[in-house]
Structure formats: structure tokens, C-alpha cells
Copies of this chain bind each other. A is one copy, B any other.
């Protein structure tokens, strides 16, 4: 599948060397993330709501209650902007001005389509669960018809998309390298901790293989 084409909105203008349009690189960021921030316009004003998501091929899926404000707005065909950000490190320079962060972020522009077909909804929800824990869908109680009815699933095409990536050490002004101040990077990682079994889980149910050494890292 071809890479993304920069549009008026997705062209990275500030620090263009941070721009990424390579489709596989963008998908790796989306597949590592857990939370996206969905932006829409309500009564002329911006609203940004965090939510989880799934991806299948060149489609992103978000879901929620059919009664929520976000879904009512987006089902009506409003424009949406979905952003996923991974914080990779604090970049501590010798000057305040050059402090920065290492990060990977993806910005998606488009319009959402509400999925109505129960089979399509079910497939999207499978992508959702598999995004969080690959292998889990087969084990769990899959959605009932009634649950599908009250779950809104929105599909957003991955067409107008760009990513921005910063890596590496701080870049200071030449004169500042002589300053006697510690400089470098503190890497950050979203680290899964040991699984906490539900209080009502029978002791004989072991932690499944796909949750042992669980990691989000996709690089």
C-alpha cells in the first residue's frame, strides 16, 4: 500500500525533518498506542476526548455509547481529527530554550462513518480487543446482538495522515556546551506492571500466555 501524501493540513511545516509519511511507520505508532484523542467541533467550539481504539488495515475504529455527545456529533458526518502520541523521553538541554521531548505522534484528519451492519461492527470490536491483547478475542464472551445495538462503532479512513517523530539528544547552541550543567535524555516507557487478577477469579485460572511479559513496544 502506498505511503501517505502530504496535504495542506498534514504537511509538517515547523521542523519538516520530523515529518513521517511512511505508511508502515505510521501504523507501528498506531499499533503501539492505547489511547487516542478525538477532536470534533460542537456548537462551533473544539472538544477533545480521550478514548481507546483499534486498527484494521487502513481503517481506524473508535467506539462508545450510542448516547454519547461525541458519537452523536460524529455519526452526523462531522469532521474529526484523531491524534495518538507516544512520549519517548525528556530531552534536557543546557538552555531552557532547547528543552524538548522525544515522541512519536500521528494525526489523522477525516470524517467518521458509523458502522450499522452487525457483522462489520463485530469485526471492528475484534480489532479493538486484539489491539489491546492479541489472542484474547477467542477466549472471551463475544458481543451479543443487544450489546452490538447499544455500541456505536465509528470507522475513520487512514487517508489524510501524518506522523511526527523526534529522537536523540538535546541540541544546544554551541556556546552552551561549555556550561557545567547535566544534559541528556530521560527515556520514558509505558510499562505494564504485573497482572492483578480480579478478586472473583478462581485460583485455577492461570494468566494466559499473551499476557505474560505483556509489552506495547512495537519498534
Contact = CB atoms under 8 A, between A and B. Distances in A.
A26 interface: no
Looking at chain A, what size class is its interface with the partner chain?
35 or more
Contacts of A143: 95-97
B46 A81 contact: yes
Contact of A140 (B40, B94, B190, B214): B94
Contact of A37 (B48, B187, B202): B48
A219 interface: no
Contacts of A80: 46
B52 A41 contact: no
A106 to B, nearest CB: 10
Contacts of A49: 83, 107
A113 B122 CA distance: 45
Given A187-B192, A192-B187, A87 B46 contact: no
Contact of A141 (B92, B125, B176, B189): B176
A213 to B, nearest CB: 11
Contact of A92 (B95, B133, B151, B185): B133
A11 to B, nearest CB: 10
Given A45-B79, A187-B192, 15 more contacts: A35-B85, A39-B39, A39-B46, A40-B46, A48-B107, A49-B83, A90-B192, A99-B129, A181-B205, A182-B201, A186-B193, A186-B211, A188-B190, A188-B191, A189-B191
